[in-house]
Amino acid sequence: MQRIFTVIVSLIYVLTVFGQQVDTHNIDQISEYFKEIKEATRQKTDLWNKDLYGGILLVDPKSRQLYANQPDQNNTLQLQNEIYVGKLPENINSANTALQWNGKTWAMIMLPLSKNKHDRINLLAHELFHTIQTSLGYTQFNKESNHLEEKEGRIYLRLELEALKKAILADAPRVQQKHLTNALIFRKYRNAIFPGSNDLENQLELNEGLAEYTGLMISNRDREQIKYHFTNTLDDFFKNPTFVRSFAYNTTPIYGYLLSQKNPLWHQKITADSNLTDYFIESFKVKLPKDLKSAAAKNLSAYDGELIVAEEDHRSEQIKARVAIYKSKFIEQPHFKIKFENMNTSFDPRNILPIEDKGTVYPNIRVTDNWGILDVNNGALMSPNWGNISVSVPTVIEEELIQGDGWSLQIDSNYTVVKDATSGNYILIKKEKK
């Protein structure tokens, strides 16, 4: 039987890069949020030829209190001053995502929201896009671009984004075109270094990239606000520990915004089979040199390339030490491997770490499945095919709770933990029915 799972990427950085956050929330405030996004989507129905406004769940991740703009089909939410109020069940992870729950598709967003109206609308519209993207033909699942954890992958992504920042800030079309061309030279050279990377990057850009572009356009910022927005989000992005799942929140929106100045509906001409890199090259009428390596080297100094290379050399040495620790902890030493059956997970995409071909370490992750709820705050290794997850060996094994270094598992009564006498590894198995 085919394994079914849902991945919920907890996009915490989307909440934090947009300025200071509100500390509290109340019914009147929530009501204003719903009115804002309803009006903003109504004014931009031409973006995708439909009104994106639909079911929204605003969730306090600590209390799990939720506020909805619509009733659920099971009538579990209580109407309170035009807002539907309830509790998010423990088996559902709080995250910024599209969610199927109680017979409806919802855009779930974690509270608190930004004090900045444009940023609030941007985030809400981003998640509302995810509720309709399947109807537009776009998948919601994509793999990590692990080559962006490699030194050269990071260098040429940073150079591309530095060139895009200058393109956004440029007022003269000729100058803007020069920076766009250089950005695409860095991109194409990066893809040449890592065969197959173009397809991996394209998957995320057609998923999260288009969602973020949608949020940007619905936010209705003016040109100066757009410049401020991108320069700030890029500066914050560069501080992320990793880029493998978050780069598309910057690349697609910037290329897309610049292209929208020439063709406001460019995004309606692409499909899930489109290659965005080739599409942008053609749309911007960029002429790439035959020798990408030489062109990239020539343009390096114009975008702080020497500093970027030095920083990435230093980071590379630090990462080698972390990878060695994780390989020892989750592969070489005894560990606890948990297979997925009907998995649902949420995590922060900013700090994950690929471990060669062994999978990806998620420092913080929450997983729900038929076997229970796993909470991790000190690292877990996700297998490359997302078939299982490994944590350190259990130190406490009780009937309802299993614990180890930086993790806990609330275990369903139908499952138990066993130890393999030969390897010393632990596994989770289903109890035999008596």
Cis ω for the linkage preceding 112 (within 30 of 0): yes
Six token digits for residue 68: 């909805």
pTM score over 0.85: yes
**19 pLDDT exceeds 60?**
no
Phi and psi of 24, rounded to 5°?
A: -135, 165
Q: Using an 8 Å Cβ cutoff, are 130 and 105 in contact? A: no
Six token digits for residue 1: 């039987």
**190 pLDDT exceeds 70?**
yes
Express each pLDDT in 365-378 by its tens digit: 999 999 999 999 99
pLDDT confidence of residue 142: 73
pLDDT category of residue 434 using cuts at 50, 70 and 90: low
**5 pLDDT exceeds 90?**
no
CA distance 204 to 336: 30
Query: What percent of the chain has a predicted confidence (pLDDT) above 90?
Result: 89
Q: What is the DSSP string of 253-280?
A: HHHHHHHHTT-TTGGGG--TT--HHHHH
- Helices (H) and strands (E) counted in the chain, each on its own, are 12, 20
Q: Using an 8 Å Cβ cutoff, are 417 and 396 in contact? A: no
**2 pLDDT exceeds 80?**
no
**21 pLDDT exceeds 80?**
no
Q: Give the SS3 label for residue 144.
A: coil
pLDDT confidence of residue 348: 87
**4 pLDDT exceeds 50?**
no
Express each pLDDT in 137-154 by its tens digit: 998 777 889 999 999 999
**402 pLDDT exceeds 60?**
yes
**410 pLDDT exceeds 70?**
yes
Q: Which residue type occupies 213?
A: Y
pLDDT confidence of residue 25: 64
